[in-house]
Structures are given as structure tokens and as C-alpha cells.
Amino acid sequence: MNAQMPVLIVVVPLLSAFAIAAAGWFNRRLCMPTAAAALGVATLCTLGLLLRVIQDGEVVYRLGGWAAPWGIVYRVDFLNAPVLVLVAAIALVNLVATSRIVVEEFPGKEGAFYALYVLFVTGLLGMVVTGDAFNLYVLLEIASITGYALIAMGRGRAVLASLNYVFMGTIGACFYLLGIGYLYIMTGSLNMTDIASFLPPLYSSKAVITAFIIIMVGVWLKMALFPLHGWLPNAYTYAPSSVSSLVAPLMTKVMVYVMIRIILTVFTPAFTFRALGLNQAVVWLAVAAIFMGSLMALAQRNLKRMLTYILIAEVGYMVGGAWLGNRAGLTGAVLHILNDGLMTFCLFLAAGNILYRVRGLNMEDLRGLFRKMPFTMGGFVIGALSIIGVPPTCGFFSKWYLILGGIQAGHYGFVVALLFSSLVNLILFFRIIEVGYFEPHSEHRHEGQDHAPSMEEAPVGMVVSLLIVASGLILAGLYAGDIVQRVVNLAIPESIV
Amino acid sequence: MSDFFSHLVARYNYWIYITLMMIGLYAMIAKNNLVKKIIGMNIFQTAIILFYISIGAKKGATIPIISHGSGHEAHVVKAADYINPLPHVLMLTAIVVAVATLGVALALAVQVYRQYKTLEEDEILQKIRES
């Protein structure tokens, strides 16, 4: 059982998706518990794997017992073990938190919804755990296709936004596939470490450089790095709130992980940061992403839409940090994958809670919310502080490493962009807190009387989950030193200083 | 000039896949009708499938089926005599992915048509602006 953990985190959710779809026909009340059980098993397995990796180092699992270059290998090391825990845990908490919304929003469709939900998580977990470049493409498409369907379950423009996402997402995935094809021509292998062992003599080959650039463009499209971000705001804004709090924190983060994996494992830092000579250009691209994401977030009047633009800026943080090419920058990027996953999850959950009670997320809908939903807004404020980067929340520590990396690399444009984005985030969130705290509630029925609107919180399950995630933000901040020392530091190859 | 042509002819499979890819990309960007865009997307994916299929080919090689199976005494298999089956197998998966993407996209197009009563993108955007 213990030895099978790497494969169980993919197989259990995958098979449970079929069980859930079948349960949807017979007894719809079984769907949610089945999904929760499957994701619970996956979460336990990822935790077990993380502990095993911390104790014994890298874990390699050969599917079907076939040895590495011929068979598919699942490889868990210090880089992906924490990302696995993040994905599985967020998926599980979100499942429990939003179960009430799902029943009300999609009556009669629980079977389809939860089957897609679990398949989406399967795709993400598989992408993170796999050590095979083509296998990664297949799992990427599993996650993407289920993601399109989940987003299209929303109201209003959701279907059109999802179709737009299909076009962009398919181009991204196809570019990745094409790049892998070039690498296969050059090396004759699909296993990541095997490709890496063949590549060094080929680093000056035009085909390999083209392959690298094509793969990067594909991955950037999927993670919505600035000029390629067009699909993201609409898709995540119009998605149902139970979906956006799952897809928004996870999809972009997992793609950033894939980028770092390709930079560090398939290609070596010697190629990416020294032979290629694109560092500066990509970091400037990230700077543009941070500026544009922050500025466009300022222009939004809808809370969820504003969060999607903040997400675009955050992608810039991670890409920039990773491409600085020094230890502090990469530490910041890897740590920010974990922290930003939690932060955006916290904020989107809070937005979901607000939407559940208020039925709108425009600025005027948020009036007087601190009186009406004190606990939800408490969780929201912690998430907001973390995005701004206020200690002791976890957002501070990853931003600290990113800024440190920028200074060490002498890239002051990136440092300025990070500080600028923090200031803009401060304005953004304090505007919301001001509206929520000081402006009177819009549905004030007893005009003239000094009568506070009664408290009307979201259902207990949703509030409790949000508060758990919010306290997780503070805990991750308090233990940031341990996380960096015992996990993140070991994920970065020693050749990077 | 003749150098260029010999280059073009020698690697015609790459030129075909690039041409097909650009046709697909053009349709996705320039066409106004959503179904045409979806077909463009499918052409784009098919181009990559053809690219993979073509890289498995070898001059003078045959299909990779070894006529005398296991049980016979060991025999040497010359890899150069058989085309590479691996890209073909990979593309079986990619075809499934392409079909699934096409299915989802067409289902979404049906939903869009039900919602807006048209598949022309400019008319849909017009309706969104008016509402």
C-alpha cells in the first residue's frame, strides 16, 4: 500500500469519477460523499508521500513495473511533493465547502458535476506527479477539457467565455505537444530525466532551442502570462463560484510548476539560464504582466473580475522569480506557488460566500458586508493582507524572497514591479474594506432608524472552511522558514546559487 | 534557388504540417463563425498529429510487425528495417484528445446558439453589448 502511493493519488480519483457518474443515475446523494472519500484518500497519499520524500528523498514509481525510458515513471521529489499536497488539499476543502452551493445551483446534475470535478483534480495531480513528458500532455488535456466543461456550467456569458478558453487552451496544449515532438526527434525519448541526459551535447542545436521556446509559449498560454492572458478573466469570472474557487487557484499554479519542472529537470539551469540568454527578456515580460495585471485590476468594479486580474499579476510574480535564475528568486517562485494557491483559494472562497448571500459582487453589492457577514469578511481580510504581503501571513515571505532574488540578480525593474503591485493591491483591497465597513447596507429597510442590519452569514460549512483556509495562510506564514529549509531549498538544484 | 527547392522537397512533410497548422490558426483567428473556428482548431490539432506520424517513417522500412513471434529462437531485429511505431501510438492518444476537445467545443457551440440564437461572433458580441 505504502509503495503504491504515487499511483493511488491518480488512480483513486480517476476510477471514482466513473463511480460518481454512475451514482448520479441511481442515488444522487452518494455523489458528493464518494468524491470526498476519493479526494480524502488522495490527500492522505500526498501527505504520506511528502513525509516520505522529506525522510528518504526522491520516490520513483514505475507503472506496470516497466523500467524508465520504456515505461511511464511517476517521480515525486522535493519540488512536486508540496504541490501535490496543495492541489489535493485545496480540492478536498473546496469540495466540502461548496457542497451546499452545488446542490442548489445544479439540481439534478450532481453526478455530472462531481465526476468532472474529480476528473479535473485527477488531471492536475497527474500532471504534477508524472515524470513523462507525453503523459503530462495527456493529463493536461484531461484537466483542461474537464475545466472547459466546469466553467461552462456558469450563467450568462460563461459558455462563450469557456469556448474562447477552449480555443486558447487547445493552442497552448498543441504547442506543448509540438515542442515535445521536436525533443523526441532529437533525443528519441519521452522520459524527462532521460531526455535531460541526452540533451547537453545538443544545447546549441536549433531544433532543441525551438522546442524549448515552443513548449514555453504553450505553457505560458495555459498559465495566462500577460500577453497571452486574454481567455482568463471572462472564464474565471463567469464560472460558477464552486468552480472558480477550484480552477482559479490551481490551474495557473500547476502550469507554473510545469514550467519550473521543464526549466530545471528536462532542460538544466545551465541551458535555460546561461546558454539560452533569454532571462532578461522573460523577466521583463513578467514585469509587464505584473504592471498590466495590477492596472487592469484597478479598473474593475466587480470583485471576482478584480481577483482574476490580480491572478494575472501573480502569474507574473512566479514566472519572473523563476527566470531570475538565482536561488532566492526560484525559492520565492516555488514558495509562491504554494502560498498563492492558498491565498487565491481563500479569496475566491470568500467571494463565493458573498455571492451566495448577496447575489452580486459589484462594489455597490458589498456595502455594509462587515455587519452582515463578519466571519466571511474576516477570512477575506486575511486573504487580502496575504496578497498585499503583510507579515505574518504567508504572502509576505514569498514576496520577500522574490524581491531578494530581484536585488541579487540586479534586476531592479522586477523589484519595482513587485512593490508597485503590492501598493496597488493595498488600494484595491482597502477600497473593498472601506465599502464593506463604512458604507451603509443597501437593503436598509428602516430608513432613518439607527438599526444595524441583522447578521446573515453564509452556511456554517462554507464559513468554517473559509476560516480554516485563512488560518492556514497565517500558519504557512509562521512556518515559512521551515518550509523553505526542509522542502523548497532541496527542490532547487545545487548548481543554482 | 535550386538549393532552396531541394531543401523544400527533402523536408516536404514539415512544410505540409506547417501549412496545415497555419490554415487552422488563420481560421481560429480570422473567421467570424464559431463552428468555422472550431473546425480550424481541429485542423490545427490534425496538423500536429500528421507531423508526429511523419517522423516515424524511414526510407525502405516496413510496418513494425515481426512475423515470427516469441517461442522461436532468438533472432536479430534490425531497427532500420521497421518504421518507428512509437509516434503512431502516441497519436492514438492525441486523436482521442482531439475528438474529446472537438466534442466539448461543439457542445459549447450548441449552448451558445441556444443562448444567443446565432453563431456569428460579431452578432453575439452585439447582443451582449445591447443587454
Q: What is the pLDDT of residue A453?
A: 59
Chain A residues with CB under 8 Å of B37 CB are 167
In A, which residues are within 8 Å of B105 by CB distance? 148, 163, 166-167
Contact map slice: A 180-239 vs B, CB within 8 A: 181, 184-185, 190
Q: Are A409 and A326 in contact (CB under 8 A)?
A: yes
- Read off the C-alpha cell for B101: 476537445
Q: What's the rounded Cα separation, in Å, for the pair B12 and A232?
A: 37
What angle is formed at CA A197 by the lines to CA A192 and CA A203, rounded to 5 degrees? 100
**pLDDT tens profile A231-275:** 899 899 999 989 999 999 999 999 999 999 999 989 888 888 887
Distance between CA A70 and CA A73 in Å, rounded? Answer: 9
pTM for this predicted structure: 0.92
Query: pLDDT tens digits for A465-478?
Result: 999 999 999 998 88
Cβ distance of A159 and B112 shorter than 8 Å: yes
pLDDT at A276 over 90: no
Nearest CA of chain B to the CA of A167: how many Å? Answer: 7
Identify the closest residue of chain A to B17 by CA–CA distance: A178
pLDDT for A390? 87
What pLDDT shows up at residue A101? 85
CB contact under 8 A, B111 and A149: no
> What is the grid cell recorded at A495?
548548481
Per the model's pLDDT, the better-predicted residue between A363 and A97 turns out to be: A97
Identify the sign of the CA torsion A97, A100, A101, A106. positive
The x, y and z cell numbers of residue A463, run together, are: 464559513
How many other CB atoms are found less than 10 A from the CB of residue A124? 32
Q: Among A436-450, B4-18, B49-63, which stretch is predicted with the lowest mean pLDDT?
A: A436-450
**Distance of alpha carbon A11 from the chain centroid:** 21
Amino acid A173: pLDDT:
94
Which is nearest to B44 in space by CA: B27, B59, B68, B58? B27
Closest by CA position to A203, among listed A187, A215, A189: A187
Question: Tell me, what's the pLDDT at B108?
Answer: 93
ipTM score of complex: 0.91
Q: Give residue A393's pLDDT.
A: 87
Q: Which band of pLDDT confidence, cut at 50, 70 and 90, is reported for residue A373?
A: confident
Nearest to A339 by CA among A297, A305, A386: A386
Whether A138 sits inside 8 A of B97 (CB atoms) is yes
Residue A434 pLDDT: 87
Q: What is the DSSP string of A449-493?
A: S--PPPP-PPPHHHHHHHHHHHHHHHHHHHTHHHHIIIIIHHHS-
Q: Is the pLDDT of residue A279 over 80?
A: yes
State the pLDDT at residue A446. Answer: 47
pLDDT one-digit tens code per residue, A422-434: 999 999 998 888 8
CB atoms within 10 A of CB A437: 16
A84-128 pLDDT tens trace = 999 999 999 999 988 888 888 888 788 889 999 999 999 999 999
Q: Indicate whether A291 pLDDT > 90.
A: yes
Contacts of B55 in chain A (CB under 8 A): 181, 184-185
Q: Give the three cell numbers for residue A425.
A: 493591491
pLDDT at B70: 61
- CB contact under 8 Å between B100 and A152, yes or no, is no
Give the mean pLDDT of A332-345. 92
Flag if A166 and B101 touch (Cβ within 8 Å): yes
- What fold, for B2-58+79-130? Helix Hairpins (1.10.287)
A215-224, A445-454, B26-35 — which is least confidently predicted? Answer: A445-454
Q: Would you call A479 an interface residue with chain B, using a CB distance cutoff of 8 Å?
A: no
The C-alpha cell at A88 is 489535493
**Closest CA–CA distance from residue B101 to any residue of chain A (Å):** 6
Which chain B residue has its CA at the smallest distance from A166's CA?
Answer: B105
Per-residue b or e along A140-170, where b marks 16 or more CB atoms closer than 10 Å to that residue's CB:
bbbbbbbbbbbbbbbeebbbbbbbbbbbbbb
pLDDT exceeds cutoff 80 at A359: no
**Rounded Cα gap, residues A178 and A292, in angstroms:** 29
Distance between CA atoms of A17 and A114, rounded to whole angstroms?
Answer: 7
* Residue A273: strand, helix, or coil: helix
Asked if pLDDT for residue A391 goes beyond 90, the answer is no
Nearest CA in chain B to A176: B48
Helical (H) or strand (E) element with A73 = strand A73-76
> Mutating which of B101, B114, B127 best tests the A interface, going by the most A Cβ atoms within 10 A?
B101
- How sure is the predictor about A487, in pLDDT bands with cuts at 50, 70 and 90? confident
Cβ-defined contact of B108 to A138 (cutoff 8 Å): no
Average pLDDT, integer, range A309-314: 93
Number of helices and strands (H, E) in chain B? Answer: 5, 0
Q: Do B108 and A152 touch (CB under 8 A)?
A: yes
Q: Is the bond preceding residue A13 a cis peptide, omega within 30 degrees?
A: no
Report the residue of chain B nearest A160, measured CA to CA.
B112
Q: CA torsion A294→A299→A304→A307, rounded to 10°?
A: 10
Query: What are B's interface residues with A at a Cβ cutoff of 8 A?
Result: 25, 28, 34, 37, 41, 44-45, 48, 51-52, 55, 87, 90, 93-94, 97, 100-101, 104-105, 108-109, 111-112, 115-116, 124, 128
Structure confidence by residue, pLDDT tens digits, A165-190: 999 999 999 999 999 999 999 998 89
Nearest to B115 among A148, A159, A190 (CB): A159
C-alpha cell read off for A437: 465597513
Alpha helix (H) residue ranges in A68-109: 80-97, 99-105
pLDDT (0 to 100) of residue A1? 63
- Over residues A395-421, the mean pLDDT reads 91
pLDDT value of position A448:
46
Which amino acid is present at A188? G
Radius of gyration, alpha carbons of chain A: 22
Closest CA of chain A from B73, distance in Å: 24
Closest residue on chain B to A162 (Cα) = B108
pLDDT interval class at A449 (50, 70, 90): very low
Model pLDDT for residues A73-92, shown as the tens digit of each residue: 999 999 999 999 999 999 99
Nearest to A141 among B97, B109, B124 (CB): B97
User: What is the arithmetic mean of pLDDT over A294-318?
Assistant: 92
